[in-house]
Structure 1
Amino acid sequence: THTKARIIKINTKRIEREIACGKIVVVTGFQGITEEKDITTLGRGGSDTTAVALAAVLEADICEIYTDVDGVYTTDPGVFRGARKLDSICYDEMLEMASTGAKVLQSRSVEFAKKYGVVLHVRSSFSKKEGTLVLEEVDRVEKMLVSGITSDINQAKITILKVPDRPGVAAQIFGALAEVAINVDMIIQSSSEGKFNDISFTVAKDDLKKALKNLEKPAKELNAAEVTADDGVGKISIIGVGMRTNPGVAAKMFSALAEGKINIEMISTSEIKISCIIRREHIEKATRLLHRTFELGKRRTKR
């Protein structure tokens, strides 16, 4: 669909012909042509995705992404001034960072790079300094337990109280959201009184009104006691391939938040990521605490 088009095929014949003639080729990113010859766009991050896709097809040695920052940082420098630029990071870590709030690269471009093995070099348009390499080889990535901390304040929590404890309930609730293309992030189901459950989940704050409207029907059909919404939350995440082989990372994260008197409302984990929902006003404090706890300001030796 328009603004969310997916790349099916790339025709580089003219580009290759012009390069063979010694010309510098400038290609407009972000847009493409459908099979019906209509112009369409790739959506957020479409320019980066275009660059990576062309680099893949042309078998380029590297794809340089020029942006307003000089690389990928351990966290957003605008949130914490002690953030440090990374020399390199692997695709999996960059994907998790992009999907949990880091704005330097959009996740679709990183997915493309990983799929086709395109090495990315994220660097500044305003400086000649070396940026950050995004690549597959983990042994070239800095030796860190946690590589980055991301935050996302575009979050809202919805709770449906007292739904029946039976098969198909979750499918009914989340199916109603899928029908209107609302992405659900974190989900928690807890036992209520008797044979009932409470289900809490997060969506993008921008989707909250639409989500609540589309939940009216399933909530009524399930005789849910109440549907509540909370748009005063944010998500804080730590990411690092070092978590795969090092136990105790979650405990260290939770202890740091507890010492800062920051309450955790929801938790989600993957192999290399731990995310927590906390009050939005605590996001900056949590970022500073975790950055210091995992010593991300220190430069590490390389593997």
Structure 2
Amino acid sequence: MALLVQKFGGTSVGSIERIEAVAERVIKARQLGHQVVVVVSAMAGETNRLLGLAKQIDAVPTQRELDVLLSTGEQVTIALLAMALNQKGYLATSLTGDQLGIRTDAVFNNATITVVETEVVTELLERDHIVVVAGFQGRDSRNNITTLGRGGSDTTAVAIAGALAADECQIFTDVDGVYTTDPRLVSEAARLSTIHFDDMTAMARHGAKVLQLQSVEYAERHQVPLRVLSSFDEGEGTLVDFSTVPSEGAAGVAVKGQQALYRVAQPLEKVEPQLGLLGFDAWCYGDSQQATYIVAADDELARLNVIFEKTELAQPSVATLTLVGEGVEGNSAKVAALLTEKGVGVYQQKSAARCVSLLINGQDLQLAVEHIHKKFVVEPESLDNRPLLAVS
């Protein structure tokens, strides 16, 4: 018998029918004799609906009260899922983050988990209950409700798995695993059965969205095996752990689209510290006129305008792609040359250990990823005899 922590996102619990399907998936694990803790997000669209209500009252809501409001989305889901499990004849108890004992720092809207208390959940598991927990939330030392920010439910699941020494933390999502690149862009992308944490962390940092970076880093620190599975299809998914040997050579291509390039009339050495103070992790570079260009997602312009008095739109659509793998930084010139040969303009490129990143025109993203993936991931060695990294 194993102890499993299963996490289901907003799409997976987006309707009563899907909540019923999640209940059946959880019951299958219980029927195999496993103890199960389920972590769920709010129903798809609910967090945005609540945020919209808040902004009808105040365009910049008080952060504390916003957390009180946003945390209610998950409370609805845990109650409905526990009801579904109970109705099907299985003991189930729902817990908010506070009720379970998830303690955080006092950073509203983007809190960090400091402690996960295990007494309540352990006692329920010992009584053969399925425990259904609200993701994305906790309580600070002054009894304020806090939320964990983007990817918070994944982090909740990993933190609980670590505290309970669970055998596996299973992340159920709308894809059936982790791929060599985004399968929506490249038809040759292949799902991988296993990935080493070092590779997955690098890819999540550079845009692979199947797992949130914070949750991957937390799982790596606490030695929690992760498995990515589909909420809608059967399969073994992709296991992220330490037993797989990290890839040698080019391993996969991570991408970030829907970005723009902004210009700030300040030198790079002044811009970078200002971005760092607000935790804004952006690719930026300077030019000969002592101005700085900043790559930012479309929804981050408001934050840039808070930091800088004036930002100019330099390019409305840019994208970044990152080739990851052992020693790929030595191929930086070859990667850029290939894209130039295929008619893709490269604005900037940078290299670091195991990474080569390029900034390109957003309209060229699919073309660029197809060529880089084929040349540096597929061609050097077939997918059948090499354990490649999977990203999506």
Name 1:234's counterpart in structure 2. 319
Whether contact under 8 Å (1:184, 1:202) holds in the other structure is: no
Name the count of aligned residue pairs: 279
Q: Is the 8 A contact 2:253 2:369 kept in 1?
A: yes
The question of whether the paired residues in 1 share the 8 Å contact of 2:258 and 2:362 is answered with no
**1:202 maps to 2:319:** no
Deviations along 1:84-105, one digit per CA (max 9) or x if unpaired, are 0012222222122222222111
Match of 1:83, SS? Answer: coil
Aligned 8 A contact 1:237 1:273 in 2: yes
> So what's the TM-score if we normalise by structure 2?
0.65
For 1:215, the equivalent position in structure 2 comes to 308
Is 1:147 the equivalent of 2:245?
no
> Is the 2:179–2:190 Cα contact (8 Å) retained in structure 1?
yes
Q: Counterparts of 1:92 and 1:273 in 2: how far apart (Å)?
A: 12
Contact 1:159 1:227 in 2 (8 A): yes
Q: Is 1:122 aligned to residue 228 of structure 2?
A: yes
**TM-score in terms of structure 1 length:** 0.83
Which residue number in structure 2 is paired with residue 173 of structure 1? 271
* Secondary structure of the structure 2 residue equivalent to 1:26: strand
Counterpart of 1:204, as a letter, is A
RMSD: 2.5
Q: Distance in 1 between matches of 2:348 and 2:387?
A: 34
Contact kept in structure 1, 2:268 and 2:285, CA below 8 Å: no
1:275 — aligned with what?
357
Q: CA deviation at 1:110?
A: 0.3
The Cα of 1:189 is off from its aligned counterpart by: 3.0
Which whole-Å CA distance do the structure 1 matches of 2:248 and 2:193 have between them? 12
How many angstroms apart in 2 are the aligned matches of 1:133 and 1:109?
14
Does the C-alpha gap of structure 1 residues 262 and 295 become closer, same or farther in structure 2, counting only changes over 3 Å?
A: same
Q: 1:183 to 1:124 in 2, by over 3 A?
A: same
Q: Which amino acid aligns with 1:230?
A: Q
Change in CA separation of 1:247 and 1:48 when aligned onto 2, cut-off 3 Å: closer
Letter aligned with residue 265 of structure 1: Y
Change (3 A) 1:3 1:300: farther
Asked if the contact 1:154/1:206 (under 8 Å) is kept, the reply is no
**CA pair 257-39 structure 1, distance change in 2 beyond 3 A:** same
Q: What's 1:222 paired with?
A: none
The answer to whether 1:185 aligns with 2:267 is no
Q: 2:334, 2:273 → 1: CA distance?
A: 36
Over 3 Å counting, the alpha-carbon distance change for 1:27 and 1:260 in structure 2 is: same
* Aligned counterparts of 2:199 and 2:293: Cα–Cα separation in 1: 27
Higher percent of residues as helix: 2
Distance between the aligned counterparts of 1:137 and 1:214, measured in 2?
A: 43
CA distance in 1 between counterparts of 2:329 and 2:255 reads: 23
RCO greater where, 1 or 2, for CA within 8 Å and sep 6 or more? 1
1:185 is matched by which residue type in structure 2? A
Moved over 6 A (4+): none
- Residue 284 of structure 1 is matched in structure 2 by 366
Secondary structure of the equivalent of 1:231?
Answer: strand
C-alpha separation in 2, matches of 1:44 and 1:63: 19
- Verify: 1:6 aligned to 2:91, yes or no: no
Q: Distance in 2 between matches of 1:17 and 1:63?
A: 20
Q: Percent identical across equivalent pairs? A: 34
AA aligned to 2:360 is I
| TM-aligned CA distance change 1:239 to 1:9, over 3 Å | same
